[in-house]
Amino acid sequence: MPPSSTPPALPALALLTLLASACTRRVEVPGPAPTQDPSAAWATLLHEAASPEGVDYDHIQSQRVVLERYLAWVGEHGEQSDQWKESKEDKRIAHLLNAYNAAVIYGVLAHRPINSVRDVHVGPFRRGGAGFFFGLRFRVDGEWVSLHHLEVERIVNRYQEPLLHAALNCASNSCPPLRFYKEQGLQGQLLAAMRRFLASDRGLMPVGGTAEAPAGYAASRIFQWYADDFTDWSQADTVCGWMADHATGPKKAWLEAHAQDCPLQWQEWDWSLNHAPRPPEGSVPAEEEAGPEEAPAAEDEEEEE
């Protein structure tokens, strides 16, 4: 979620926090939670509906019960409810990523028709997408949390892995593409997601030169808004240096040449809803076809008692 919707700093933040419990809206899903993990059914539906161009919300709506069963299960399960051990880090990360992305989709379905998540207003959360990301609360692992809290506190800041920024989808056209993440081979999946994002114009787009801005590249605002994540959590001195390790071809060469001065331009963020009709069966989206292969999944570990 872009930080443009972050509430005001203290002391306004303190007042807003006091109001939050009374002014947020819980997004209930039909229950009870299924007794068996329904992740496979949800992963299949998401694979059918999601493409590099966006999400076919109509297709998901037509099988909405699959998403509802998954979110009902997510609401009752997770590292706290099921007491997962610390060694299960990839399991925790994948679970939270999928929970966040599924909650975003359900938030869209619950408020259709909308042209953007910024059209959702909740109590005092009325500007810049704050209603959607701060005002709505979803049940995850036994707790009611906002999308902002789930993303920032439970996922990104906790695990301090810059690749996670390419795995979180905010239901807007400028967001990285959506997919379901598996516990096995998670690091390879995250690497592939970031490489595909940088290979696309949405992540890094060539731009012509002007007197004020020499020819180069315009990057997604994600790399501007979260610049400290890419440098503080790595050995890179600049965002360009970090991106160079995950780009290919001319983009990689340019980023390496500008690893220190990093004269990136920034793309405008498109908040339009990322709705896109379902790709024809049997077709392979160009971005996926050209993307690098994911690292093979590790062999299944023996489940801990």
pLDDT higher for 209 or 43? 43
Distance CA 102, CA 97 (A): 9
Contact assessment for residue 148 and residue 128, using Cβ atoms and an 8 Å cutoff: no
**Number of domains, the chain:** 2
Contact assessment for residue 283 and residue 141, using Cβ atoms and an 8 Å cutoff: no
Is there a single domain that holds both residue 176 and residue 104?
yes
∠ CA 139-145-151, nearest 5°, is 115
| Closest-CA residue to 291 (of 258, 255, 249, 230) | 249
Distance CA 56, CA 60 (A): 7
Is there a single domain that holds both residue 30 and residue 70?
yes
Give domain status of residue 147, yes or no.
Answer: yes
Is there a single domain that holds both residue 104 and residue 138?
yes
Contact assessment for residue 46 and residue 168, using Cβ atoms and an 8 Å cutoff: no
Look at residue 58 and tell me whether its pLDDT is greater than 60: yes
Phi then psi dihedrals of residue 13, to 5 deg: -65, -40
Cross-strand pairs, 265: 218
Distance CA 220, CA 298 (A): 31
Give domain status of residue 177, yes or no.
Answer: yes
Range of the domain at 136: 15-186
**Region 224-247: what's the mean pLDDT?**
97
Pairing of strands 143-146, 204-207: unpaired
Is there a single domain that holds both residue 49 and residue 146?
yes
Q: Which of 143, 159, 186 is the last residue of a domain?
A: 186
Dig out the tokens for 287 from the structure: 């971005």
Question: For 130-171, what is each residue's pLDDT tens digit?
Answer: 999 999 999 999 999 999 999 999 999 999 999 999 999 999
Helix, strand, coil percentages for the chain (3-state, nearest 5): 45, 10, 45
Task: Tell me 272's DSSP state.
Answer: B
Distance CA 82, CA 200 (A): 38
Is there a single domain that holds both residue 42 and residue 93?
yes
Is there a single domain that holds both residue 181 and residue 234?
no
Is there a single domain that holds both residue 29 and residue 117?
yes
> How many other CB atoms are there within 10 angstroms of residue 4's CB atom?
14
Give domain status of residue 6, yes or no.
Answer: no
DSSP letter string, 66-134:
HHHHHHHHHHH-STTTTT--TT-HHHHHHHHHHHHHHHHHHHHHHH-S-SBGGG--BTTB-STTHIIII
Give domain status of residue 302, yes or no.
Answer: no
Give domain status of residue 22, yes or no.
Answer: yes
- Please report, as a single letter, which amino acid is at residue 240: C
Is there a single domain that holds both residue 174 and residue 209?
no
Distance CA 32, CA 214 (A): 58
Q: Which residue matches tokens 């040449």?
A: 257
Give domain status of residue 77, yes or no.
Answer: yes
Q: Would you state the pLDDT for residue 128? A: 86
3-state secondary structure of 140: strand
Look at residue 288 and tell me whether its pLDDT is greater than 50: no
Is there a single domain that holds both residue 140 and residue 233?
no
Q: Would you state the pLDDT for residue 20? A: 55
Among 128-142, 231-245, 274-288, name the one with the lowest average pLDDT. Answer: 274-288
Question: For 100-121, what is each residue's pLDDT tens digit?
Answer: 999 999 999 999 999 999 999 9
Among 8-17, 67-76, 129-138, 293-302, name the one with the lowest average pLDDT. Answer: 293-302
Contact assessment for residue 204 and residue 217, using Cβ atoms and an 8 Å cutoff: yes
Give domain status of residue 7, yes or no.
Answer: no
Give domain status of residue 250, yes or no.
Answer: yes
Is there a single domain that holds both residue 93 and residue 170?
yes
Look at residue 282 and tell me whether its pLDDT is greater than 80: no
Q: Would you state the pLDDT for residue 293? A: 40
Tell me the whole-structure pTM to 2 decimals.
Answer: 0.87
Q: b vs e for 106-138, b when ≥16 Cβ sit within 10 Å of the residue's Cβ?
A: bbbeebeebebbbebebbbbeebbbbbbbbbbb
Instruction: Spell out the residues 6+ positions from residue 73 whose beta carbon is closer than 8 angstroms to its own.
Output: 33, 34, 37, 38, 39
Is there a single domain that holds both residue 98 and residue 154?
yes
Is there a single domain that holds both residue 44 and residue 89?
yes
